[in-house]
Amino acid sequence: MEWDDTLLTGIQAIDVQHHRLVDLINEFNDQVLRSTTLDEERVFSGRFLIELRSYANIHFVAEETMLVEQQYPGFLDHQAEHQTFINEIEKLENRFRLNEPALAVDVFLFARDWIIHHVNHSDRKYIEFIKK
């Protein structure tokens, strides 16, 4: 996944965090591509899910705090999207715990697609509100 300017919000702290999320996704993808066994791939998937959830929580707190401070009227909907992300991570973690093989592709696609969609749709809404 390449970082590009379509993922920029114009809010430096948020952009730095989004860039870190993209870096995490790319690091995971690189590890999986270098893995030589399904066991290695599973280990990388498990580690990535932990890292992704942890960093996403940090980002969500920062973003939600900013939205509350800005009195963004779509805050509850935005927060619900964050919770949906966490719920999806939990589903992937459950699949991991059940030893589902070849989970890496689903994990990668979920993370990549979610950040692109979330930034380009949901985050754009609050950016328009804040910049008014």
**Considering the entire predicted model, what is its pTM?**
0.91
Contact yes or no for 17/62 (Cβ under 8 A): yes
For residue 67, give the CATH number of its domain. 1.20.120.50
Domain extent, residue 29, equals 5-130
Q: What is the pLDDT of residue 15?
A: 94
Spatial distance between the Cα atoms of 42 and 3, rounded to a whole number of angstroms: 26
**What is the tally of structural domains in the chain?**
1
Mean pLDDT of the region 8-12 = 93
Q: What is the pLDDT of residues 105-120, one digit of tens each?
A: 999 999 999 999 999 9
Does 132 score more than 90 pLDDT?
no
Q: Label residue 75 by pLDDT band (50, 70, 90).
A: very high
Q: What is the pLDDT of residues 76-108, one digit of tens each?
A: 999 999 999 999 999 999 999 999 888 999 999
Spatial distance between the Cα atoms of 2 and 50, rounded to a whole number of angstroms: 22
Q: Label residue 61 by pLDDT band (50, 70, 90).
A: very high
